[in-house]
Structure 1
């Protein structure tokens, strides 16, 4: 990252000084990320011509100004700001007497395209998300994968196809069924986008996560239209779609009991569905996400697909012979779908000592 970009990251994060006492350190990003997005959109004149800075300086009530901006913004941007929980955060800031101060701090930032390119803004936003992960404890099974690990994964997927991709004219379609903050998608975009145009697709169950992925793409100057909200296992937002490259970090050891009815119904379809290889134990959905991705591979005659999934070691070894997990692994091997397994050491993930395993 250029020094100027790092200076901008530090400048934005310095607004956390206003929040101390009223917000916990783990909550700073819930304020800083949406306001950084808001200011970037405002500086790019994407909010229906409304200026939050102007209205606040004109002594308009800041909450009213936010509502006006939201109502005037294009629908997809209004949904994005809602997904980042901007109104709830703004209300909390207002109650603490901090909203005008926070707005004034961000109003001092010039985030126009002339001052900050899409590449620089994307790098800044990525750093803000990473700093957020470093100060936020993960929920059960959810862990932020460090950028260098994701970059390694992306390189290992794309590098073998470099010569072929350099000759390709059609866009490369990239997909993450549990896209989280969008880091894996952006790593594949960085790796494959040097060779050919890239279209990004993703889905996440968490409202804030899908909004954060959309924000990440937007801050990089990319189209977030392929990012969807919903449970990938029970409600695939990209049915019938196939992709060139896929990557996922399914939550570790998270049960699929809530969607058991939909999953079992699709499993009954056999090879016509996404879960024809079998069902794992109800306490771990990782191998369901893997099967979902395998179902979205292109046939070899259309160029095929490559994918990578990062697990803890449990999906590789859990289950005796004849169990759901064992049958899924057998099906993968018999259909020659596994290229390699890469084991990485402990302490690479934030907030956990769990070692990481890549499957390709």
Structure 2
């Protein structure tokens, strides 16, 4: 877990880097500039990782106790020995065996940074041939070309990165001096700090910049970014610590990043999960893949971006955990081939709204023991438009719904539509960790939680997240460490709280026509009883009002007097 001192270091670094980077933006929009900055952070990461492995390897080559040891006595001269060391340091297998990306000489950060300062049109250190083996025209010898060529070389030598890196720097409307300054700025991101390594620091900076760009882009930016606090809340409630984790509308991969943090926090290993995702937007798909590569998370996002509804890249996947924040109330999604799709087990979703298509797509991909969380517009909890009410009823009668959370407004950069979270579980029977919850649904009304972080956006505090997640886990009986609990009344620590949470039976939901709005069930917060008799209160309030009116008259007279002395009249 990050110490307070390390967290302060990261926060200070975030602000310094963002302020400096934003000053260099010039005429570029946030949407374009995003790829310029995040692509360079990725190059810095692979170079730092490569340099760190190279340093360790050199120690091993000179260490008599290591299998890689090269004995200087076996060579004719110190120069011959050093030459052999340098040759060994360029053996690709030494890096790939440690899951470190191989970085060819032309793409290493120091080479990039040094040559970014060369005069325009100067010969590149590797002559006039680019990473593709093509001759480089004089007009192409720019800093933008230099970066694109570095990315091309990295992709060429690392098949896992094929198609992931955004090689568009030479087409950006940033002059060489601005790109050179941006390279120098990213170069200031350190290798390590305290217990933080390059992966931790660069991963944190990458995530922070994603959030900042989402804010800068407003509505458009929100399409690739789910607020960190919402992602953290869902991950804390689902606790995806082992198995297959899937996000069919993954954006920049925020749910996977928080899953990694959750696993580390509880002493697990990221190797215990397999990550699957899908994204329609090509550049966002690239952002997500770089996000995973920086953290060393093995991922399967398909070979290309694709529309989840019409081109499911993981048709046979049955995931243990599914988390998603798809576009709300998506209208243009239906194609004729979707009629009778195997995913529509609970009813064909309306053609002008994809909410219940996303819901059923995720249910279809759940394993028999799987659980899921889906962010949807509030209308999904009560709408009877077309087939939505019938689909909701069928899902409830199949006893899949476990918890409904109503969220406060103004949480998202891209929409003001009020939202909720659906939590579903394929198995509500008793397990070694949870009590039996058949025929029960927990409702949480979190609309009063959070704080305004600025004039536009609301956010959750860590205490808000903990309060909501703890309520859910207590209700599940998670704190009982394997003791099977036959009834909710025996769950230690959980209790209904008026205005916030209530456990409800399926019979109660039937009586409410299968409406799932938490406010309908949790009631209102209990108010402190007013012990002051009405007659006494009325007398006190009337007296206070007379005093305030008298003071108002006095102040008005004083103002008139002062203005009269200055020659003014009211």
TM exceeding 0.5: yes
Q: Post-superposition shift, 1:140?
A: 10
Equivalence for 1:137: 218
- 3-state SS in 2 of match to 1:240: coil
213, 220, 224: which one aligns with 2:295? 220
1:235 equivalent in alignment to 2:299: no
User: 1:274 and 1:308, CA in 2 relative to 1: closer, same or farther beyond 3 A?
Assistant: same
**Runs of 5+ consecutive residues of structure 2 not aligned to the other structure:** 1-5, 51-100, 125-140, 424-570
Q: Could you state the TM-score of these two structures normalised by the residue count of structure 1?
A: 0.82
Distance 1:352 1:139 in 2: 10
Matches within 5 A, 1:66-145: 66-73=147-154, 74-82=158-166, 86-87=167-168, 89-94=169-174, 98-111=178-191, 116-139=197-220, 142=223, 144-145=225-226
Alpha-carbon separation, structure 2, partners of 1:137 and 1:330: 36
Name the residue aligned to 2:511: none
Superposition map of 1:288-307 within 5 A: 288-299=357-368, 304-307=369-372
Deviations 1:228-282 (A, max 9, x none): 621111111112111111111110121244x412322xxx25xxx1123222222
Tell me what 1:168 maps to.
Answer: none
Distance 2:247 2:336 in 1: 23
Q: Secondary structure at the match of 2:165?
A: helix
Task: Indicate the larger mover: 333-342 or 30-39.
Answer: 30-39
Q: CA 1:351/1:239 → structure 2, altered by over 3 Å: closer, same or farther?
A: closer
1:329 is matched with which residue?
392
Give 1:308's match in structure 2, choosing from 349, 370, 373.
Answer: 373
Deviations 1:290-330 (A, max 9, x none): 1111011112xxxx00101011112222234xx32122212
Q: Which protein is bigger by CA-based radius of gyration?
A: 2
How far did 1:44 drift?
2.6
Aligned equivalent of 1:282, options 351, 375, 378: 351
Give me the whole-angstrom Cα distance separating, in 1, the residues matched to 2:249 and 2:288: 10
SS of match in other structure, 2:390: helix
**Structure 1 portions without partners, runs of 5+:** 166-170
* 1:192, distance to aligned residue in structure 2 (A): 4.3
From the superposition, tell whether residues 235 and 24 of structure 1 become closer, same or farther in structure 2 (CA, over 3 Å).
closer
3-state SS of paired residue (1:123): helix
1:18: how far off?
Answer: 1.7
Q: Which protein has greater RCO, CA pairs closer than 8 Å, 6+ apart?
A: 1
Q: Does 2:326 match 1:250?
A: yes
Deviations 1:183-235 (A, max 9, x none): 12222333345345222111111111111111221222222344662111111
Equivalent-residue separation in structure 2 for 1:188 and 1:43 (angstroms) = 24
CA contact (8 A) 2:42 2:290 kept: yes
- Residues 6 and 124 of structure 1 are in contact (CA less than 8 Å); yes or no, is this contact kept in structure 2? no
1:33 pairs with 2:38? yes
2:417 is matched with which residue? Answer: 354
**Equivalent residue in structure 1 for 2:23, among 14, 17, 25:** 17
- Do the aligned partners of 1:37 and 1:219 also contact (CA within 8 Å) in 2? yes
Q: How many residues align?
A: 332
Contact 1:176 1:247 in 2 (8 A): yes
Question: Hey, what's the Cα distance between the residues in 1 that align with 2:174 and 2:413?
Answer: 32
Following the alignment from structure 2 to structure 1, what is the Cα–Cα distance between the partners of residues 14 and 36? 14
Which of structure 1's runs of 4+ aligned residues deviate more than 6 A?
Answer: 112-115
Give the alignment partner of residue 155 of structure 1, picking from 214, 236, 240.
236
Once residues 332 and 141 of structure 1 are traced to their aligned partners in structure 2, the CA distance between those partners, rounded to angstroms, is 29
2:244 partner SS: strand
Contact map agreement 2:223 2:251 (CA 8 A) in 1: no
SS at match of 1:275: coil
Query: Alpha-carbon deviation of 1:6?
Result: 2.2
SS at match of 1:357: strand
